[in-house]
Structure 1
Amino acid sequence: MPSYAGADGTQLHYDELGDGPVLIALAGGAGRHPSYLGDLAGLDSRHRLVVPHLRGVGLSPMPDATETASYWRQAEDVEALRLHLGLGRVHLLGHSAGTRLAMAYAVRFPDRLSALVLVTPPAAHLVDVPSDAEELFAAKTGEPWFDSVVEAGRAGPETPDDAGINAFFQVVMPRGFATWNETARVHGEVGPVSWAANQAFQTLDPPGDLAALLAGVPAPVLVIAGAQDFLTGFAPVAALPALFPHGSLAVLADCGHYPWVEQPAAFRAALDGFLERA
């Protein structure tokens, strides 16, 4: 598996799929193995997907200094990866918690970014729009899995370790999909979560004016929202593009937090069109 020297010299690993223009894809979780991204609905047929194992995930080690594994500091690793790949500027995609890292890179290294894709990003902390996540989720009342998901969500992981967080993720996974069916079940079992990486991801707070800093990102930005995203809500995600000078929004109907799984054709149509123009 290919590797590169991170910002502090640590050997970090990444996966590669396909050929063509490079697109770096950042997984979420936080701390989830990037295997759950798959090939992003066949995106590797048009792009060389470079998918880092973030710190503490997969083959990349957890650092002694926990803040080094925060998303704010891991922006430095993304920059080291860009240099390793020999790219002047980079197309960058983040999913879920990975969008926090993608936006950190965008504000810290704005001149090195050629295009930014934010897939179902948590955005309530950045925009002055109340989250409608619970209202959307309540529409699923009566589903056979609903009560157990609500109870588990209130309780959180039973134990503070890999076993505890992965058991928790499995119980609450239906909340990530507009429709909880066999396709969703199979996908939900892919990509274990690292407890240490999950906890370290937000150990270092970004600047308090992060939302304002996004106005200084010159690259085109595409935000992809699931209309039934019970995790992030829809309203905050829909408001996020306005924070960027060149932000745009793609809304996918009948779609939750994993659009390449639930709506692969619509996901690719939005993404391919954007990348062709970027």
Structure 2
Amino acid sequence: MSAAAGTGSSAVVESHDGIRLHVDVIGDDALPPLVVLAGGPARHPVYLGDLGGLSIRRRLIVLHQRGVGRSESGSSTAAASWPELAEDVEAVRRWLDVDRLELLGHSAGTRVAVSYAARYPHRLDRLCLITPPATWLVDTDDDSAEIIARHAAEDWYPGFLEALPALLAAPDSASTDRRLLSLSKCPAVAPIAWGEWDDTAREHERLGAWHPAAQDAFVHTPTIDEVEDIRDALRTVTAPVLVVAGSEDGLTGLAPVVDLAKRFPLGQAIVLDGCGHYPWVEQPRSFAAAVHGFFPIG
């Protein structure tokens, strides 16, 4: 299927090692393409929807991560770790036949986006990172505990405290983001991702199946040298970069997310007050004002 697939269509992209990857194509054929990476890790990207109407500005090319949804997993676990998943993004760029790529990642998908930026800085036209876990890449203290504690009066808080030992027993943040990994295994953690844990939040949490094998393959513990190499590479990114943070995001914290924007020469951070990890759901108007403006038409 060609890259000119229409609204609500799909396509198959062959990656560098022959693995067949599925992409959903959302938006008008005439619009510029924007490659979209879902989080989880390894969550079906249906939970993204069309990112609060972003499809009116861009044709969204939503990639199913290896082993997720309709994408093949392959036999190489190494190729499915978050640094190496950047090569699948490069395969999509080649399939689109564009010299420079517009790229958007949410949550754990931003790790892949950052890896792509580090490997292919000259192939980026714009980069948008939505509520990215950033403690692995920046030196700013994680303030997520303080954000979560602000919700101590909520009905869900005792259940979260009860689940906390299992959360802390999950892989630590040096290997991957244990709170994000635990969402699929520990539903009591879900409310910390929201500014307000209401019916809208509960309904959204039901979207997007998690894929444990792909989740495990995603995990990679970067060495100190690897982190420094990525930091150095990000300084060479000449494309504009937008980082979107939620002031009430108990999954990522706020300070590290804002600090991530400073790693890019043309990075900027926008904080949505009162918002959590899914800003296009909680604050669609504010999200649209921030993100739609970053992707101009014409």
TM-score (norm 2): 0.87
Where 1:2 maps in the other structure, the secondary structure is strand
Partner of 1:203: 220
Distance 2:187 2:81 in 1: 24
- C-alpha displacement at 1:166, in angstroms? 6.8
The answer as to whether partners of 2:121 and 2:234 remain within 8 angstroms in 1 is no
Candidates 6, 9, 14, aligned match of 1:5: 14
The one-letter amino acid paired with 2:87 is: E
Distance 1:14 1:105 in 2: 18
Deviations 1:145-169 (Å, cap 9, x if unpaired)?
112123224214999xxxx967635
Correspondence 1:79 to 2:98: no
Query: What residue ranges of structure 1 are gaps of 5+ in the alignment?
Result: none
Where 2:248 maps in the other structure, the secondary structure is coil
1:166–1:138 Cα change, 3 Å: closer
Partner of 2:24: 15
1:41–1:200 Cα change, 3 Å: same
Where 1:238 maps in the other structure, the secondary structure is helix
The one-letter amino acid paired with 2:71 is: S
Query: What residue ranges of structure 2 are gaps of 5+ in the alignment?
Result: 1-9, 171-180
Candidates 40, 44, 50, aligned match of 1:33: 44
Q: Which moved more, 1:24-33 or 1:267-276?
A: 267-276
Partner of 2:237: 217
Distance 2:203 2:262 in 1: 35
1:55–1:177 Cα change, 3 Å: same
Distance 1:212 1:248 in 2: 18
Deviations 1:31-55 (Å, cap 9, x if unpaired)?
1000010110011122100000011
1:231–1:166 Cα change, 3 Å: closer
Q: What pairs up with 1:126-275 in 2 under 5 angstroms?
A: 126-156=137-167, 168-203=185-220, 205=222, 207-209=226-228, 210-275=230-295
- C-alpha displacement at 1:219, in angstroms? 0.7
Distance 1:57 1:238 in 2: 30
- C-alpha displacement at 1:273, in angstroms? 1.4
Distance 1:178 1:32 in 2: 21
The answer as to whether partners of 1:31 and 1:57 remain within 8 angstroms in 2 is yes
The one-letter amino acid paired with 1:105 is: Y
Partner of 1:67: 78
1:212–1:153 Cα change, 3 Å: farther
Distance 1:143 1:230 in 2: 14
Distance 1:38 1:98 in 2: 15
When the two chains are superposed, the root-mean-square deviation of aligned CA atoms in Å is 2.1
Candidates 98, 105, 108, aligned match of 1:94: 105
Distance 1:63 1:112 in 2: 26
The one-letter amino acid paired with 2:125 is: S
TM-score (norm 1): 0.93
Deviations 1:82-125 (Å, cap 9, x if unpaired)?
11111111110000100000010011011111000000001112
Distance 1:42 1:217 in 2: 27
Partner of 2:7: none
Distance 1:142 1:127 in 2: 31
The answer as to whether partners of 1:116 and 1:222 remain within 8 angstroms in 2 is yes
Correspondence 1:118 to 2:129: yes
Where 1:250 maps in the other structure, the secondary structure is strand
Distance 1:84 1:185 in 2: 37
Distance 2:114 2:220 in 1: 16
The answer as to whether partners of 1:226 and 1:256 remain within 8 angstroms in 2 is yes
The answer as to whether partners of 2:184 and 2:210 remain within 8 angstroms in 1 is no
How many pairs are equivalent?
274
Distance 1:80 1:136 in 2: 38
Q: Percent identity?
A: 46
The one-letter amino acid paired with 1:2 is: A
The answer as to whether partners of 1:23 and 1:91 remain within 8 angstroms in 2 is yes
